[in-house]
Chain A
Amino acid sequence: MSMPRLLAEGILKSALTEPAPDLAELGVAFEAAARRRLGRSLSIRQVDAGSCNGCELEIHALSNAYYDLERFGLRFVASPRHADVLLVTGPVTLNMREALERTYAATPAPKWVVAAGACAIDGGLFAGSYACAGSVDKVLTVDIRIPGCPPTPTALLKGLLALMEGAKR
Chain B
Amino acid sequence: MRWDQVTVDVRGWRQATESLIAGRRTLLGLWGEPNRVHMASRGEDEIAVVSLACPKGSFPSVGARHSPAIRLERAIADLYGLKAEGTLDGRLWLDHGRWTVRHPLGAAARSKGPAPYAFLAAEGESLHQIPVGPVHAGIIEPGHFRFTASGETVVRLEERLGYVHRGLEGLIAGAPLDRAARLAGRASGDSTVAYAVAFARAAEAALGVEAPSRAHWLRGLMAELERLANHLGDIGAICNDAAFALMHAHCAVLREQVLRAADVAFGHRLMMDCVTPGGVAVDLTPAGAEAVRDLVRTVRERFPLLIDLYDDTASLQDRTVGTGIVKAELAAWFGASGYVGRASSGGFDARKAFPYPPYDALEFEVPTRDEGDVNARVWIRIEETRQSLSLIDQILDGLPKGPPTAPLASGAGEGLALVEGFRGDVFIWLRLEPGKVTSAYLRDPSWFQWPLLEAAIEGNIVADFPLCNKSFNCSYAGVDL
Chain A residues with Cβ under 8 A from B186's Cβ?
Answer: 52, 54, 125
Query: Which residues from 155 to 181 on chain B have a C-beta closer than 8 Å to any C-beta of chain A?
Result: 162-168, 170-171, 179
Q: Is the CB of B190 within 8 A of A53?
A: yes
Q: Is the CB of B170 within 8 A of A129?
A: yes
Residue from the list B163, B166, B168, B192 in contact with A99, Cβ < 8 A: B163
Chain A residues with Cβ under 8 A from B135's Cβ?
Answer: 47, 80, 99, 103
Chain A interface size band reads 35 or more
Query: How far is it, in angstroms, between the C-alpha of A51 and the C-alpha of B233 when the chains are bound?
Result: 19
B104 within 8 A of A: yes
Q: Is the CB of A126 within 8 A of B166?
A: yes
Binds A, one of B14-22, B212-220, B308-316: B308-316
Q: Is the CB of B101 within 8 A of A51?
A: no
Given contacts A90-B164, A93-B163, contact A6 B312 (CB under 8 A): no
Q: Is the CB of A53 within 8 A of B189?
A: yes
Query: How far is it, in angstroms, between the C-alpha of A91 and the C-alpha of B134 when the chains are bound?
Result: 16
Q: Per-residue 0/1 for B243-284: is the Cβ within 8 Å of any A Cβ (1 yes, 0 no)?
A: 000100110110110010000000001101000000000000
A11 to chain B, nearest CB (A): 13
Q: Is the CB of B269 within 8 A of A58?
A: yes
B96 within 8 A of A: yes
Chain B residue total in the interface (Cβ 8 A): 53
Which A-chain residue is minimally distant from B313 (CB atoms)?
A3
Q: Is the CB of B182 within 8 A of A125?
A: yes
Q: Is the CB of B164 within 8 A of A48?
A: yes
Given contacts A2-B309, A125-B171, A130-B99, contact A54 B192 (CB under 8 A): yes
Chain A residues with Cβ under 8 A from B253's Cβ?
Answer: 16, 64-66
Which A-chain residue is minimally distant from B105 (CB atoms)?
A130
Residue from the list B233, B250, B255, B270 in contact with A6, Cβ < 8 A: B250
Query: How far is it, in angstroms, between the C-alpha of A51 and the C-alpha of B192 when the chains are bound?
Result: 13
Query: How far is it, in angstroms, between the C-alpha of A78 and the C-alpha of B162 when the chains are bound?
Result: 22
Q: Per-residue 0/1 for B94-112: is the Cβ within 8 Å of any A Cβ (1 yes, 0 no)?
A: 0010111100100000000
B138 within 8 A of A: yes
Query: Which residues from 1 to 26 on chain A have a C-beta closer than 8 Å to any C-beta of chain B?
Result: 1-3, 5-7, 16
Q: Per-residue 0/1 for A55-76: is the Cβ within 8 Å of any B Cβ (1 yes, 0 no)?
A: 1111111011110000000001
A134 to chain B, nearest CB (A): 11
Q: Is the CB of A56 within 8 A of B140?
A: yes
B54 within 8 A of A: no
Which B-chain residue is minimally distant from A45 (CB atoms)?
B135
B475 within 8 A of A: yes
B64 to chain A, nearest CB (A): 27
Chain B residues with Cβ under 8 A from A91's Cβ?
Answer: 166
Chain B residues with Cβ under 8 A from A159's Cβ?
Answer: none
B305 within 8 A of A: yes
B188 within 8 A of A: yes
**Binding site secondary structure of chain A:** mixed
A139 within 8 A of B: no
Query: How far is it, in angstroms, between the C-alpha of A140 and the C-alpha of B249 when the chains are bound?
Result: 34
Q: Is the CB of B270 within 8 A of A99?
A: no
Q: Is the CB of A125 within 8 A of B179?
A: yes
B473 to chain A, nearest CB (A): 10
B70 to chain A, nearest CB (A): 20
A119 to chain B, nearest CB (A): 8
B139 within 8 A of A: yes
A141 within 8 A of B: no
Q: Please give the residue numbers on chain A whose beta carbons come within 8 Å of chain B beta carbons, in ascending order.
A: 1-3, 5-7, 16, 46-61, 63-66, 76, 78-80, 90-91, 93-99, 103, 125-126, 128-132, 149-150, 152
Can you show 30 pairs from A to B with CB atoms below 8 A apart?
A1-B308, A2-B305, A2-B308, A3-B246, A3-B313, A6-B246, A6-B250, A6-B309, A48-B164, A50-B163, A50-B164, A52-B188, A53-B188, A53-B475, A53-B477, A54-B189, A57-B233, A60-B139, A61-B255, A64-B249, A64-B252, A64-B256, A65-B252, A78-B137, A94-B98, A96-B142, A99-B134, A125-B183, A131-B167, A131-B170
**18 extra interface residue pairs, beta carbon distance < 8 Å, beyond A64-B256, A94-B98:** A1-B312, A2-B305, A2-B312, A47-B135, A48-B139, A48-B164, A51-B164, A52-B189, A53-B188, A56-B139, A66-B256, A76-B139, A78-B137, A125-B171, A125-B182, A130-B167, A150-B189, A152-B269
